[in-house]
Amino acid sequence: MSESFTPSERTRVVREPQRGVYDRETVYKILDEGLVCHVGFSLEGQPFVIPTLFARVGDAIYFHGSAASRMLRGVSEGANVCVTVTLTDGIVLARSVFNHSMNYRSVVALGKATLVETPQEKLEALRAFTEKILSGRWDDARQPNEKELKATSILRLPLTEASAKVRVGPPEDDAPDYALSVWAGVIPLGVVAGAPIRDERCDLGIPLPAYAANYRR
């Protein structure tokens, strides 16, 4: 498979084209860091955008939900989807309000999602969801039983049409504005995990797992 996505008319970055990125390594790194994706689809002429957990396994995205959900019913029947993931890395403060911005990394993936049918692939996808959130948790907690598997639908979106858009760096002001007496710069943003909070019904004799105590993003 090619190391880069071939930009299509639908995925080519038009506004600020210099920020468009099409290599798989960059796209996959953004997908692997993101925790939530937004799935866009149309059902009976009404557009919907639904946030959901997801995981990348190889060259595909898996996302899931209740077997009774409107999104999964519509998508599993063959609806085209647009999946987006955005990471915000900083607030960019320019000298003019117009040139304020964000440093960010985002991915747009398009295609047709298909319903995962085999129990083995379902389990592999659920394991990927769990391990992406917290590596080591899958083998520590009770795994899904048959009833839970039946109540969960999982869809696979092959990563064949996708692109990333990335902004990094300082403000970009108009030349005359650099003389203004206005503070300019970047406020970095990131996800910071707090200290784990034990469930009130969790036996005090059960030690805090290392993967929870040392969790970092």
Is it the case that residue 43 has pLDDT exceeding 90?
A: no
- 3-class DSSP state for residue 22? coil
Number of domains in the chain: 1
Task: Report if residue 43 sits inside a domain.
Answer: yes
pLDDT digits (tens, 9 = 90+) for 45-93: 888 899 999 999 999 999 987 666 776 666 666 678 999 999 999 999 9
Task: Report if residue 11 sits inside a domain.
Answer: no
Is it the case that residue 23 has pLDDT exceeding 70?
A: yes
Task: Report if residue 211 sits inside a domain.
Answer: no
CATH of the domain at 136: 2.30.110.10
The whole-chain average pLDDT of the chain stands at 92
Contacts 24+ apart (CB under 8 A), 202-210: 209/136, 209/137, 209/140, 210/136
pLDDT digits (tens, 9 = 90+) for 110-133: 999 988 988 899 999 999 999 999
Task: Report if residue 21 sits inside a domain.
Answer: yes
Residue of 20, 58, 60, 6 lying closest to 37 (CA atoms): 60
Type of residue at 208: L
Is it the case that residue 177 has pLDDT exceeding 90?
A: yes
Distance CA(31)–CA(54), nearest Å, equals 9
CB of 27 closer than 8 Å to CB of 6: no
Type of residue at 100: H
Task: Report if residue 207 sits inside a domain.
Answer: no
155: domain range? 17-192
